């Protein structure tokens, strides 16, 4: 109907120009294996938007009063010549954007801070020079300009991030700032940004209890930096990791959904659900713990997963749903990719181990979970399952497959198998889940 009425399919009000922010001789380089030297030579000759801005300021005095972020309004970057050229018309609806830089990449972070404020620079050395004195680092230059007095830089960082990041991402940034930044007054930083840091929990609970959940989450994040709420003189809370994770689900609501889903199961689906629930809540030693749900597309596998998730959560217990791909994970309530949950390494081999440390929030959740659901399992390389098996055995101190945890793998071997680059049929079969002791 929209197309029949010839309505606009899209609309663009502004043009956003992404500007490079890189350190001297550290611009990104794209290369093919075996051609690294040639790629470096090409990169040395090819200017970026930043180095070209330096050249512009050398040759065009009219650009001296224009900051780097505003330059796209008055000049166009010609990619063929890698030069800035004066605009002939327009520019009012053009926005220059400097990418967000993590404080972990400290020198780029401070370079970006300077680029947002300094105009007319002709080189990196020019940016480093303050009142005739050449600073050694960009951080020192920021200090000389008075940009790092007090905690204003951290307030600015959180205010900027709050415009486009979720509360969870803000809490990660807050913990990172506390861990790596020299913050003079952490409690004040918390008070000033409490609203944005707690927004998700306040929305779900209340203004009184939301901050407690946010602080508990920050406490978990701070453990990576050997810090705690107490060390930073922040209000302390006592919420276990499992309670925090479970906070995303309402038990009464989950029970209602579980009842509704159970009533819609056919006989085969009901049988699968009953077998899995029996395995989860039956502590008998001879009860099987590893299951595979096989079925072509459209046979109701996802509906079975959802029924199990709602039922177990409705009983106040934890369940971890994962999938081999991000798209498949979105079909599971609370689902994530297996790589993110288990910290599976990208480069896998037969002896790979997961990058998940004991005594962390993630490890605690794996220990407390009643069931692990893994969708699209046939797509995952066998080495990933072996790595997860080692991880769970190490965490549980149990030598049974997957550490004795009840795990439901699902998928369809008729569809996509593990992708082996330029691999033969033999290699593809060897990489399959079936090529394991528990496959």
> Which CATH number is 366's domain given?
3.40.50.300
Q: Could you tell me if 383 and 256 lie in one domain?
A: yes
Strands 371-375 and 407-411: parallel
Q: Could you tell me if 228 and 283 lie in one domain?
A: no
**Within a 13 Å sphere around the CA of 51, how many CA atoms are in the beta-carbon half?**
15
Helices (H) then strands (E): counts for the chain = 20, 11
Question: Which of the pair, 267 or 283, is modelled with greater confidence?
Answer: 267
Of 123, 145, 167, the residue that ends a domain is 145
Mean pLDDT of 27-43: 81
| 52 in any annotated domain | yes
| 117 in any annotated domain | yes
| 3 in any annotated domain | no
Model confidence over 393-426: pLDDT tens digits? 999 998 888 888 999 998 887 777 767 777 777 7
How many other CB atoms are there within 10 angstroms of residue 250's CB atom? 14
Model confidence over 315-331: pLDDT tens digits? 888 899 998 888 888 88
For residue 245, the model assigns a pLDDT of 56
Chain-wide mean pLDDT for the chain?
86
Q: Could you tell me if 107 and 242 lie in one domain?
A: no
Q: How many residues does the chain have?
A: 439
Question: Which of the pair, 126 or 360, is modelled with greater confidence?
Answer: 126
Q: Could you tell me if 136 and 22 lie in one domain?
A: yes
- Pairwise CA distance, residues 204 & 213, whole Å: 11
| Cα–Cα nearest to 336, from 373, 304, 365 | 373
Alpha helices by DSSP H, listed for 23-166, are 36-45, 49-59, 106-115, 124-128, 138-144, 152-161
Mean pLDDT of 262-277: 93
- Pairwise CA distance, residues 370 & 350, whole Å: 27
For residue 234, the model assigns a pLDDT of 92
Task: Please give the residue range of the domain that contains residue 224.
Answer: 151-247
- Pairwise CA distance, residues 107 & 109, whole Å: 5
Stated pTM of the model: 0.52
Q: Could you tell me if 141 and 63 lie in one domain?
A: yes
| 7 in any annotated domain | no
Alpha helices by DSSP H, listed for 93-250, are 106-115, 124-128, 138-144, 152-161, 167-180, 186-192, 194-197, 199-204, 210-222, 241-246
* Residue appearing with tokens 């508990």: 216
Of 247, 269, 284, the residue that ends a domain is 247
Alpha helices by DSSP H, listed for 46-118, are 49-59, 106-115
- Pairwise CA distance, residues 295 & 415, whole Å: 10
pLDDT higher than 70, residue 248: no
Mean pLDDT of 20-32: 87
| Cα–Cα nearest to 171, from 208, 196, 202, 206 | 196
For residue 48, the model assigns a pLDDT of 92
For residue 70, the model assigns a pLDDT of 92
For residue 417, the model assigns a pLDDT of 73
- Pairwise CA distance, residues 225 & 179, whole Å: 5
Q: Could you tell me if 272 and 403 lie in one domain?
A: yes
pLDDT higher than 60, residue 229: yes
| 261 in any annotated domain | yes
Can you spell out the DSSP letters for 113-128?
HHHTT-BS--SHHHHH
pLDDT higher than 80, residue 45: no
Q: Could you tell me if 82 and 173 lie in one domain?
A: no
How many other CB atoms are there within 10 angstroms of residue 333's CB atom? 16
| 419 in any annotated domain | yes
Model confidence over 89-107: pLDDT tens digits? 877 889 999 988 877 788 9
pLDDT higher than 60, residue 437: no
| 21 in any annotated domain | yes
**Within a 13 Å sphere around the CA of 22, how many CA atoms are in the beta-carbon half?**
16
Mean pLDDT of 21-50: 84
For residue 263, the model assigns a pLDDT of 94
Q: Could you tell me if 112 and 163 lie in one domain?
A: no
pLDDT higher than 70, residue 438: no
pLDDT higher than 60, residue 242: no
| 344 in any annotated domain | yes
Question: Which of the pair, 79 or 206, is modelled with greater confidence?
Answer: 79
pLDDT higher than 60, residue 377: yes
DSSP helix/strand/coil, 281: helix
Q: Could you tell me if 51 and 162 lie in one domain?
A: no
Strands 83-86 and 75-78: antiparallel
Of 218, 247, 276, the residue that ends a domain is 247
DSSP helix/strand/coil, 51: helix
Q: Could you tell me if 390 and 258 lie in one domain?
A: yes
pLDDT-derived band at 21, boundaries 50, 70, 90: very high
pLDDT higher than 70, residue 160: yes
DSSP one-letter code for 282: -
| Cα–Cα nearest to 301, from 269, 333, 258, 278 | 269
CA angle 65–69–71, rounded 5-degree value: 55
* Residue appearing with tokens 């995952």: 380
Q: Which segments of 206-298 are extended strands (E)?
A: 290-294
Q: How far apart are the first and last CA of the chain?
A: 50
Task: Confirm if 68 and 19 have CB atoms less than 8 A apart.
Answer: yes
For residue 240, the model assigns a pLDDT of 53
Q: Could you tell me if 119 and 191 lie in one domain?
A: no
The lowest-confidence range among 39-43, 246-250, 399-403, 431-435 is 246-250
DSSP helix/strand/coil, 314: helix
Count up the domains in the chain and report the number. 3
Q: Could you tell me if 119 and 183 lie in one domain?
A: no
- Give me the percent of the chain exceeding a pLDDT of 70: 95
For residue 253, the model assigns a pLDDT of 84
């Amino acid at each position: 109907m929209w197309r029949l009425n010839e309505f606009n399919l899209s609309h663009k009000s502004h043009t956003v120009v992404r500007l490079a922010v890189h350190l001297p001789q550290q611009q990104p380089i794209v290369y093919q294996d075996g051609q690294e030297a040639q790629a470096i030579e090409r990169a040395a000759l090819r200017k970026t938007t930043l180095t070209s801005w330096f050249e512009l300021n050398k040759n065009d005095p009219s650009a001296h009063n224009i900051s780097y972020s505003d330059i796209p309004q008055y000049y166009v970057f010609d990619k063929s010549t890698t030069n800035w050229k004066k605009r002939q018309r327009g520019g009012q609806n053009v926005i220059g954007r400097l990418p967000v830089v993590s404080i972990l990449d400290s020198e780029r972070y401070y370079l970006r801070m300077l680029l947002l404020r300094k105009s007319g620079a002709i080189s990196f050395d020019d940016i480093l020079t303050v009142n005739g004195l050449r600073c050694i680092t960009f951080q020192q230059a920021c200090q000389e300009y008075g940009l790092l007095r007090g905690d204003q830089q951290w307030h600015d960082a959180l205010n900027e991030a709050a415009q486009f990041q979720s509360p969870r991402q803000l809490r990660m940034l807050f913990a990172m700032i506390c861990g790596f930044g020299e913050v003079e007054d952490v409690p004040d930083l918390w008070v000033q940004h409490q609203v944005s840091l707690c927004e998700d929990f306040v929305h779900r609970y209340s203004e009184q209890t939301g901050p407690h959940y946010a602080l508990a989450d920050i406490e978990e994040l701070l453990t990576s930096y050997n810090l705690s709420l107490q060390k930073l003189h922040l209000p302390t809370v006592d919420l276990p990791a499992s309670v925090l994770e479970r906070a995303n689900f309402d038990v009464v609501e989950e029970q209602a959904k579980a009842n509704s889903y159970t009533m819609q199961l056919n006989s085969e689906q009901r049988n699968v659900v009953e077998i899995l629930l029996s395995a989860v809540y039956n502590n008998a030693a001879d009860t099987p713990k590893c299951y595979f749900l096989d079925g072509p597309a459209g046979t109701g596998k996802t509906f079975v997963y959802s029924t199990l998730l709602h039922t177990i959560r409705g009983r106040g217990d934890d369940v971890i749903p994962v999938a081999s791909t991000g798209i498949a994970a979105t079909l599971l309530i609370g689902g994530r990719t297996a790589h993110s949950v288990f910290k599976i390494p990208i480069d896998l081999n037969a002896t790979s181990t997961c990058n998940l440390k004991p005594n962390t929030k993630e490890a605690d959740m794996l220990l407390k979970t009643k069931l692990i659901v893994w969708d699209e399992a046939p797509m995952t390389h066998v080495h990933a399952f072996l790595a997860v098996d080692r991880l769970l055995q190490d965490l549980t101190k149990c030598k049974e497959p997957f550490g004795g945890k009840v795990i439901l793998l699902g998928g369809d071997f008729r569809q996509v198998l593990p992708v082996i680059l330029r691999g033969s049929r033999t290699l593809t079969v060897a990489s399959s889940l079936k090529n394991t002791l528990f496959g």
